[in-house]
Chain A
Amino acid sequence: MGTEKNILVKLENAGYSQNNKWLVRGVSLEVEKGKIVTLIGPNGSGKSTTAKIALGIYKKIEGNVEKHTKKVGYVPQKVSIDWTLPLRVSDFMVLTESLKDDAIDEALSLTGVGHLKNKNLGNLSGGEFQRVLLARAISKKPELLVLDEPVQGVDFTGEIALYELIKKISDELNCGILLISHDLHTVMSATDHVVCLNGHVCCSGSPIDVAKNIEYKALFGEQASQILSVYEHKHDHVHSHEGEIKKN
């Protein structure tokens, strides 16, 4: 294939369990340089867990993870800053990597929050904080970006701009991106590869392939599927509420 050296992170049949319950199991995927891989799936389907397996945050896992880069930028789904810790945006920007002032300014203005540099992190709105999180992750010019719902709480126009920014970053830095998103429109337009999760990999492939996939349709409904396709065929299994898979 000759593409081996471009792979940044590779999961093989990976799974993670907590309190004797599998959060996600049997996930195989790889993120290459310059490619955007998106995880979609309903709540509790193991998207964040999969991201954390890929990042090496969960260590006691089933299966295999290979990470071929150390330059990682991560936007977690939830970050809460305690009042006991006084932290300005500029302090947060240099949390894991020392940056020059210019680099901080540049990253912050890319995500539209240059004016918040000296503000206290605790006083930001949800959307502002999300923009700071994204700015921090891209400021270190990572090879691998893992973005767990990076635009949650961001206003509508901002959302579009940030997704454009993410696409631009992927091209400019030639970094690989593992994206978790609820916005199916964006997923379908900007992504190279989609992995649809529901405790396991339901289906994966190019956005068009996935949109056509019957399991995707079962998960997200007809409408979601019509975003790109009206392709239809019979279900071969259904998901019960307990997450079991039953053949029709």
Chain B
Amino acid sequence: MFDDFFIRALFAGIGVALVTGPLGCFVVWRRLSYFGDTLSHSALLGVTIAYSFELNIAVSVFLVSSIIALFLIQLQKKTNLPGDALLGLLAHSSLAIGLVVIGFLTFIRFDIMGLLFGDILAVTVNDLIIIWVGGALILLVLKLIWKPLFASTVNYELAEAEGLNPDRAKAIFTILMAAIIAISIKMVGLLLITGMLIIPAAMARNISDNPQKMVLFSVIGGLLSVIIGLFSSLEFNTASGPSIITASLVLFILSLLKIKQSIQLKN
């Protein structure tokens, strides 16, 4: 069944969408889209390290992104620079270092476009296992920290005062972000991972009145985007990442029609 590259890509995409759905909601709620960008840009460095030392790409990306995330938290404590400046600093310097390192790796044939925008031909059975096992672990951990993470997203001080330990939940969530980037890099490509996180969630916000619904619609939106995107990628021979993101944008635009309706109803 998994002999066919397209079936592999489809299952990989579905696995990714199941995880980006709920995670993406938190990215939107907590205003972390630029943070997601920073982590995914740093993923290039992770990939080059994987090639240099013949490591598994997902593992290497996960480690590098986690280190960058922890480094960011330290920087935030030590300097007075605003958060977005620090994010920009880390995003672009880690991307630059990644590209410089690629320059040195002349002995390896590099598909840089595939890295940046995703390549469905590149998904192996091994990748499928990493996506599904890794994805299941991410969802399990997210479920465990859901209450403190959600409560502190609504109001940090309430969560802290009522004993939910929001700082720990936030740190764990940061690691989950690094993990989702690591497992989805082959499918979506590192430049577009944040789009996969926020566009279905933003679409879901337009048609939801409570958090559970938003998570559900975000997952459904992600799944539809992956399926439509991959089929059109196959049909028109386009890169998988951009195709998936374009599909999710179409869904987002459709969801705007619904919100327009409800605003008119109110007036």
Cα–Cα, bound, A120→B251 (Å): 24
CB closest chain-A residue, reference B164 = A96
A80-88, A210-218, A219-227, A236-244 - the one binding chain B? A80-88
A65-100 with Cβ < 8 A to chain B: 70, 72-74, 76, 79, 81-82, 84-88, 91-92, 95-97
Asked if B150 is an interface residue, CB under 8 A from chain A, the answer is: yes
Which B residues are in CB contact (< 8 Å) with A120? Answer: 209
B163 touches A85 (CB 8 A): no
- Asked if A166 is an interface residue, CB under 8 A from chain B, the answer is no
Query: A146 and B161 in contact (CB under 8 A), knowing A84-B28, A86-B205, A95-B151?
Result: yes
A178 to chain B, nearest CB (A): 11
Query: Could you list 14 A-B pairs, sorted by A, with CB under 8 Å?
Result: A52-B157, A52-B161, A56-B160, A56-B161, A72-B162, A74-B158, A74-B161, A84-B29, A87-B211, A91-B211, A91-B212, A95-B159, A96-B164, A97-B162
Q: Which residues of A contact B234 (CB under 8 A)?
A: none
Contact at B161–A82, with CB atoms within 8 Å? no
Residue of A nearest to B206 (CB): A86
> Which residues on A are within 8 Å of B, measured CB to CB?
52, 55-57, 70, 72-74, 76, 79, 81-82, 84-88, 91-92, 95-97, 120, 140, 146
User: Do residues A88 and B210 form an inter-chain contact, with CB atoms below 8 A?
Assistant: yes
Contact A79-B29, Cβ < 8 Å, known A72-B163, A95-B150, A120-B209: no
Chain A CB within 10 A, most for which of B154, B158, B208: B158
Judge whether B92 is part of the interface by a CB distance below 8 angstroms.
no
A72–B158 Cα distance when bound, in Å, is 10
Give, as a whole number of angstroms, the nearest-CB distance from B234 to chain A: 34
Q: Give chain B's interface residues, CB within 8 Å of chain A.
A: 28-29, 31, 147, 150-151, 153-155, 157-164, 205, 208-214
Q: Is the CB of B161 within 8 A of A55?
A: yes
Separation of A85 and B154 alpha carbons in the complex (Å): 8
- A172 vs B158: C-alpha distance when bound (angstroms): 24
Query: Bound state CA distance, A87 and B157, in angstroms?
Result: 18
Q: How far is the CB of A117 from chain B (nearest CB, A)?
A: 12
Chain B residues with Cβ below 8 Å from A79 are: 154-155, 158
Q: Whole-angstrom distance from the CB of B21 to the nearest CB of chain A? A: 15
Least Cβ distance of B81 to chain A in Å? 16
Give the distance in Å from the alpha carbon of A120 to the alpha carbon of B208 in the complex.
11
A82 to B154, CA, bound (A): 8
For the complex, give the distance between the alpha carbons of A55 and B31 in Å: 27
Q: Which of B154, B164, B205, B213 has the most CB of A within 10 A?
A: B154
CB–CB A82/B209 < 8 A: no
B159 touches A91 (CB 8 A): no
Q: Which of A81, A82, A91, A96 contacts B210 (CB 8 A)?
A: A91
In contact, B154 and A86 (Cβ under 8 angstroms): no
For the A-B complex with A52-B157, A84-B29 known, give 19 more contacts whose Cβ atoms are closer than 8 Å. Answer: A55-B160, A56-B160, A56-B161, A72-B163, A76-B155, A79-B154, A84-B31, A84-B205, A85-B154, A86-B208, A86-B213, A91-B212, A95-B154, A95-B159, A96-B147, A96-B151, A96-B158, A96-B164, A146-B161
